[in-house]
């Protein structure tokens, strides 16, 4: 199916790539259908894009990339709500906040997104661990990992950006002033 987005233009998305959040995301409970976009920019940052609201997309990342010891412990009821017996069949992402000063980027470690890889059912779950931060500053760790990283991005997502949309975005970014308030991404 074709889905229009304000950030990525028109994208072709397979129905099997649609992720369903029964309860929506925190603060966006009315939006329940999303898909993951890999912009292919070598930052390892993906985007979770709403199917129903073209302007709603959040930057996300696998927290193990910048914090290898990060672990998610779900209660039995939380696992059941995702039809999971354990987290081996799940993908875990954290939502990023990317302010104007990119070095102040942070990840919400307290409320990760957990996706059942088989059913594509997901939840953003607030973890009980009081040591986890909502705004974990992780730019330095991410930069360190990116410098040493090589990957085949095609295995991370099936959604491909159209070259014309990518070129249009690049042209728009070149023409945009450096202090564009639309570059803030918060979750």
Parse the chain into domains and list their residue ranges: 2-183
**Tokens read off for 156:** 């991370």
The pLDDT value given to residue 146: 80
Per-residue model confidence (pLDDT) at position 187: 45
For 173-184, what is the mean pLDDT?
42
CA distance 125 to 91: 13
Q: pTM of the entire structure?
A: 0.77
pLDDT above 70: residue 185: no
Statement: residue 175 has pLDDT above 60? no
Domain range 2-183, CATH class = mainly beta
* More confident site: 114 or 177: 114
pLDDT at position 46? 96
**pLDDT score of 148:** 75
d(CA 59, CA 170): 18
Do residues 2 and 14 make contact, with C-beta atoms less than 8 angstroms apart? no
Could you report the per-residue pLDDT of 35-83, keeping only the tens digit for each?
Answer: 999 988 878 899 999 999 999 999 999 999 999 999 999 999 999 999 9
Q: Hey, is 28 helix, strand or coil?
A: strand
As a whole number of angstroms, the distance between CA 151 and CA 30 comes to 35
Q: Which residues pair with 58 in a beta bridge?
A: 48
Percent of the chain with pLDDT over 70: 79
Confidence of residue 151 (pLDDT cuts 50, 70, 90): low
Q: What is the pLDDT of residues 106-127, one digit of tens each?
A: 999 999 999 999 999 999 999 9
- 168, pLDDT greater than 70: no
Angle at 116 between CA 123 and CA 160, to 5 degrees: 95
Task: Tell me the average pLDDT of the chain.
Answer: 85
């Amino acid at each position: 199916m074709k889905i229009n987005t304000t950030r990525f233009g028109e994208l072709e998305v397979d129905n099997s790539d649609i992720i369903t959040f029964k309860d929506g995301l925190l603060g966006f409970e009315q939006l329940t259908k999303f898909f993951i976009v890999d912009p292919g920019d070598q930052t390892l940052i993906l985007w979770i894009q709403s199917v129903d609201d073209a302007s709603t997309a959040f930057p996300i990342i696998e927290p193990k990339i910048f914090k290898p010891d990060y672990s998610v412990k779900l209660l039995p009821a939380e696992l059941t709500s995702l039809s999971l017996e354990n987290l081996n069949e799940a993908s875990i992402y954290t939502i990023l906040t990317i302010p104007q000063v990119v070095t102040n980027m942070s990840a919400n470690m307290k409320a990760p997104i957990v996706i059942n890889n088989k059913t594509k059912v997901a939840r953003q779950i607030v973890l009980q661990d009081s040591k986890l931060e909502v705004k974990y500053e992780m730019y330095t760790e991410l930069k360190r990992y990116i410098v040493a990283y090589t990957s085949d991005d095609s295995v991370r997502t099936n959604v491909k950006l159209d070259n014309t949309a990518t070129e249009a975005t690049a042209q728009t970014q070149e023409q945009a002033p450096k202090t564009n308030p639309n570059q803030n991404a918060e979750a």
